[in-house]
């Protein structure tokens, strides 16, 4: 019961924080990877498509047996059984770490499972020893006995109900994960431009030019990640249109696809923050679908809606001005991860995510800013959210000490859909010095830069500012993120010690 409670609790929590990887799926995956091919073939021959169910049942049996032994051991010697649970937690942790989908939240799950299991085990053993003690004493043993069975019964009920919920939820997620894993992405009609030589500077401590999916920041209001079966997915274009249009996933995949690197950013990204990432997106231009529907005169906004009801309001002209605004299905060569909007999301170069990057997309309503408000607008955020020119120092980290002499600075700058023309640094509010700007992948992505500066011993303040390709300079006045994005120069302190 103790082991069951721990596992069921961690599986349920996985449904919310890590739908693509739980303790049990990690263990199962590790077992599948570890068994010799002969055994695998034998299992498939014996159980057919129920092979995964058989594997999970087998794992449950092994865990139950080990847990039963732990219970007996714990009764004899305090914490001996708990130690076995701890070992099991470590095995689970090792399994999670071997998985490709590993995330910080996934790592917590086996630790949580073991922790809860130990707590429940201690309580159950406590009640059991109380009952044992009462049998030896003169007092009636009935209350102590009832106490034990009440806790046992309560735990059993929780395991059964929680287990059923977790199975149903994980079953759905597992099915969709399998569909996602086996989904072949179409070849783009317009492939992404090659990354120019020298675009990636590669100073130690700089972020990669293209952000790997597991490291890509995640921001949304979804308490549990929506799990959408692509076979049931539909996107409807409604509102001020000549004709409503609806397309399904297969139809979308058959469209001529565009592949582009685009850097998306969150309006909640403070100056110097990391709520920004650059990926290679594959999708069909939004304007093509809008053209099929035919927006009526007077419309100036597209209210995109996700399966969980969240909405973003995007200017219609931005979606139709020819930029690579995409109904994206792919991210860095894979179908979108569930957390990043599987099966379809919007990606619009130049706009903050809250006004453009709707994940788990289900509807595009052509409307007017005067008639409709998106999710964040009544909550203190501007209806329109173009990304502000910004730049960041990644190397050295703020507060680091350095040896006197030449210190290598490096970082990123972005002005999506205009492009960066110049990046400058200044030390202790001195004169601006121009950094070496690496070629960008396109004007829709961030650019890396670097500059070596000679520093004398002492404490120094170093600032960065960017200028876009139209000559607009990053705003100096320091302001926080609401209502339409932070401004100010990223400022770091460097201690130079002789
Ligand atoms: N359905 C849905 N889509 C959403 C959001 C959301 O809360 N729900 N948040 C948006 C915000 S504020 C940002 S910054 C981006 C972040 O995308 P990412 O999580 O893939 O990095 O998604 C956007 N799309
Ligand atoms: Mo955001």
At residue 291, what are phi and psi to the nearest 5 degrees?
-65, -35
Q: What is the pLDDT of residue 120?
A: 96
**Buried-exposed string 53-83: b where 16+ CB fall within 10 A, e elsewhere:** eebbeeeeeebeebbeebbeebbeeeeebbe
CA of 267 to the centre of ligand 2 (A): 5
Q: Cis bond leading into 483, ω under 30°?
A: yes
Contact 88, 63 (CB under 8 A): yes
Q: Examine residue 184 and state whether it is found in any structural domain, yes or no.
A: no
Whether 405 and 339 share a structural domain: no
| Ligand closest to the CA atom of residue 361 | 1
pLDDT tens, residue by residue, 363-394: 999 999 999 999 999 989 999 999 999 999 99
Q: Which atom of ligand 1 is nearest the CA belonging to 346?
A: 24
Q: Which atom of ligand 1 is nearest the CA belonging to 216?
A: 21
| Ligand closest to the CA atom of residue 481 | 2
Q: Examine residue 189 and state whether it is found in any structural domain, yes or no.
A: no
CA of 338 to the centre of ligand 2 (A): 17
Whether 369 and 303 share a structural domain: yes
Q: What is the dihedral of CA 231, 235, 236, 241, to 10 degrees?
A: -140
Whether 157 and 281 share a structural domain: no
Whether 257 and 296 share a structural domain: yes
Contact 374, 311 (CB under 8 A): yes
Task: List the CATH number of the domain containing 226.
Answer: 3.90.420.10
Residue nearest to atom 9 of ligand 1 (CA): 220
Whether 406 and 373 share a structural domain: no
Whole-number Å distance between alpha carbons of 234 and 441: 33
CA of 95 to the centre of ligand 1 (A): 30
Q: What angle do CA 83, 88, 89 make, to 5 degrees?
A: 95
Q: What is the pLDDT of residue 49?
A: 62
Residue nearest to atom 13 of ligand 1 (CA): 353
Q: What is the pLDDT of residue 17?
A: 83
64: domain range? 2-171
Q: What is the pLDDT of residue 225?
A: 81
Q: What is the pLDDT of residue 315?
A: 98
| Ligand closest to the CA atom of residue 358 | 1
Whether 395 and 421 share a structural domain: yes
Beta strands in 253-384 (DSSP E): 258-265, 276-285, 301-306, 311-315, 326-331, 334-335, 345-347, 361-367
CA of 345 to the centre of ligand 2 (A): 14
Q: What is the pLDDT of residue 134?
A: 85
CA of 376 to the centre of ligand 2 (A): 10
CA of 220 to the centre of ligand 1 (A): 5
Return the best residue to mutate from 215, 219, 356 for the ligand 1 pocket (most ligand atoms within 8 A of CB). Answer: 219
At residue 52, what are phi and psi to the nearest 5 degrees?
-70, -40
pLDDT tens, residue by residue, 223-277: 668 889 999 999 999 999 999 999 999 999 999 999 999 999 999 999 999 999 9
Q: Examine residue 411 and state whether it is found in any structural domain, yes or no.
A: yes
Final residue of a structural domain among 379, 399, 431:
379
Q: What is the pLDDT of residue 494?
A: 97
pLDDT class of 44 with cuts at 50, 70, 90: confident
Q: What is the pLDDT of residue 410?
A: 98
User: What lines the ligand 1 site, CB under 6 Å?
Assistant: 216-222, 266, 306, 310, 340, 353-354, 357-360
On average, the pLDDT of the chain sits at 93
CA of 221 to the centre of ligand 2 (A): 10
Whether 139 and 278 share a structural domain: no
pLDDT class of 19 with cuts at 50, 70, 90: confident
| Ligand closest to the CA atom of residue 314 | 1
Residue nearest to atom 15 of ligand 1 (CA): 353
């Amino acid at each position: 019961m103790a082991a069951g409670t721990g596992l069921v609790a961690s599986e349920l929590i996985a449904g919310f924080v890590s739908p693509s990887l739980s303790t049990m799926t990690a263990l199962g995956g590790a077992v599948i990877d570890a068994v010799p091919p002969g055994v695998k073939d034998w299992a498939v021959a014996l159980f057919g498509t129920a092979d995964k169910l058989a594997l999970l049942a087998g794992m449950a049996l092994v865990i139950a047996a080990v847990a039963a032994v732990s219970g007996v051991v714990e009764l004899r010697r305090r914490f001996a059984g708990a130690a076995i649970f701890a070992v099991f937690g470590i095995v689970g942790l090792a399994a999670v770490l071997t998985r490709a989908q590993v995330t910080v939240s996934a790592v917590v799950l086996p630790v949580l499972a073991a922790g809860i299991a130990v707590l429940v085990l201690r309580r159950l053993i406590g009640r059991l020893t109380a009952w044992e003690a009462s049998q030896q004493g003169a007092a009636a043993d009935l209350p102590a006995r009832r106490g034990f069975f009440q806790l046992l019964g309560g735990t059993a009920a929780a395991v059964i109900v929680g287990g059923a919920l977790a199975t149903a939820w994980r079953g759905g997620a597992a099915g969709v994960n399998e569909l996602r894993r086996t989904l072949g992405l179409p070849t783009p009609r317009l492939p992404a431009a090659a990354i120019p030589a020298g675009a990636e500077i590669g100073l130690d401590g700089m972020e990669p030019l293209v952000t790997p999916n597991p490291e890509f920041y995640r921001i949304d209001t979804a308490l549990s990640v929506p799990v959408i079966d692509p076979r049931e997915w539909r996107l409807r274009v409604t509102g001020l249109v000549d004709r409503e249009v609806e397309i399904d996933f297969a139809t979308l995949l058959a469209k001529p696809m565009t592949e582009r690197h685009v850097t998306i950013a969150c309006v909640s990204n403070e100056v110097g923050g990391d709520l920004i990432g650059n990926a290679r997106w594959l999708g069909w231009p939004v304007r093509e679908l809008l053209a099929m529907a035919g927006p009526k005169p007077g419309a100036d906004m597209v209210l995109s809606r996700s399966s969980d009801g969240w909405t973003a309001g995007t200017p219609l002209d931005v979606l139709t001005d020819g930029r690579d605004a995409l109904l994206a299905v792919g991210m860095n060569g894979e179908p979108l991860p569930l957390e990043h909007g599987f099966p379809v999301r919007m990606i619009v170069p130049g706009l903050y995510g809250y006004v453009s990057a709707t994940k788990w997309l289900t509807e595009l309503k052509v409307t007017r800013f005067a008639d409709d408000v998106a999710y964040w607008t009544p909550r203190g955020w501007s209806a329109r959210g173009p990304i502000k020119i910004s730049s960041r120092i990644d190397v050295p980290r703020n507060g680091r000490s350095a040896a006197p002499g030449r210190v290598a600075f490096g970082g990123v700058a972005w002005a999506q859909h205009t492009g960066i023309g110049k990046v400058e640094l200044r030390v202790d509010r001195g004169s601006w010095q121009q950094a070496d700007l690496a070629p960008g992948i396109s004007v829709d992505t961030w650019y890396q830069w670097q500059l070596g500066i000679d520093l004398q011993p002492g404490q120094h303040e170093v600032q960065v500012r960017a200028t876009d390709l139209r000559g607009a300079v990053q705003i100096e006045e320091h302001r926080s993120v609401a209502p339409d994005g932070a401004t100010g120069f990223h400022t770091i302190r460097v201690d130079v010690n002789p």
